[in-house]
Amino acid sequence: MQIIADTHTHTISSGHAYSTVTENAKAAKEAGLTYMCVTDHASTMPGSPHHWHFVNQRVIPDVLEGVRICRGVEANIMDEAGNLDMPLYVYLHLDWVNASLHEPVFRPDSESVHTTAIVNTIRNGIADAIGHPGNPSFPIDIEVVVKAAAKQGIALELNNSSFNGSRAGSESICGEIALLAKQYGALITTGSDAHFANDIGRFDSVRALIKKVGLSPDQIITSNEGLFLEYVQKRQNQRQEIIKSLMD
């Protein structure tokens, strides 16, 4: 199955990644991608930039190296209420928002606490995808999370980096997420979680899991350009409506 977008990439701005946007775009082109989401860590992650950095992504060209650039962020889930870690207006004009639990920001707790935090993030509607939900540091009630994502139409990420050392023990959890996503019709997105350009568009482990589970291409929003663009536009409209209502 083809994958046309990498929805989880980091640049030197994340503080612990090592390539530029241009270097990542070159790697995306070499990997045969059509779209690349720039999703540096949001401001509460140690070493990450001030939220003005994300507002100013408007200076990034729409196309680099022939690859369409989606201006985005990997936001931090801050609490059980599913609050994210930048002012609401910052998210208004972003193309893509990953929301993730990270140990330096959200202290690992119980399965119930993690599940509540992710479900409320899904329901809040600002995030387009939940990043690396298979992280074993944050055990969840997988069925509850998948059902919530399916109901709200929010994508769950299959994160290639999680299979390759960054989150040891993720494989079986991601496998269960994929199986339940197939059962309940939840949407899936694909992220390399690259912190160096060589990993942009690397989806070998994710492809293997998709094939093993037999996920339909219709559930993989990055499987074709039309599906991806439809999802991004729909989510942008919904996010803007939600944020404007909260800011009024």
Query: How far is residue 18 from each of residues 12, 21, 24, 203, measured CA to CA in Å?
Result: 5, 10, 10, 19
Average pLDDT, the chain: 97
Asked if 33 contacts 201 with a C-beta cutoff of 8 angstroms, the reply is yes
Name residue 141's amino acid. D
At residue 46, does pLDDT exceed 90? Answer: yes
As beta bridge partners, residue 96 has 72
In contact, 54 and 224? CB cutoff 8 Å: no
pLDDT of 167 over the 90 cut: no
The answer to whether residue 146 scores a pLDDT higher than 90 is yes
- Spatial distance between the Cα atoms of 64 and 84, rounded to a whole number of angstroms: 29
Helix (H, G, I), strand (E, B) or coil at 35: strand
Q: What digits encode the pLDDT tens for the residues 106-140? A: 999 999 999 999 999 999 999 999 999 999 999 99
What residue ranges define each of the domains in the chain, with the CATH number in brackets? 5-247 (3.20.20.140)
End-to-end CA distance of the chain: 44
Residue 76, CB-side half-sphere exposure with 13 Å CA sphere = 20
Q: What are phi and psi of 238, to 5 degrees?
A: -65, -45
**Cα 44 to Cα 180: distance, rounded to the nearest angstrom:** 32
Q: What is the pLDDT of residue 227?
A: 98
Rounded to 10 degrees, what is the CA torsion of 7, 85, 172, 164?
Answer: 60
What is residue 169's predicted lDDT score, i.e. its pLDDT? 79
Q: Is 93 annotated as a binding residue?
A: no
In angstroms, rounded to a whole number, what is the distance separating the alpha carbons of residues 233 and 21?
23
The pLDDT of residue 130 is 98
| Residue 30, annotated as binding a ligand | no
Q: Is residue 143 scored above 90 in pLDDT?
A: yes
Give the CB-side neighbour count of residue 54, counting CA atoms within 13 A: 30
pLDDT band at 170 (very low <50, low <70, confident <90, very high): confident
Please report the pLDDT score of residue 158 as a whole number. Answer: 97
Tell me whether residue 195 is annotated as binding.
yes
Q: Please indicate if the annotation marks 53 as binding a ligand.
A: no
Q: Does 74 carry a binding-site annotation?
A: yes
Q: Measure the CA–CA gap between 37 and 68, rounded to whole angstroms.
A: 9
Query: CB–CB of 71/112 below 8 Å?
Result: no
62 CB burial (10 A radius; 0-12, 13-18, 19+): exposed
pLDDT tens-place string over residues 203-214? 999 999 999 999
Q: What is the pLDDT of residue 164?
A: 78
What tokens appear for 23 in the block? 């270097």
DSSP state of 77: B
CA 93/CA 85 separation, integer angstroms: 16
Q: Write the single-letter amino acid at 121.
A: T
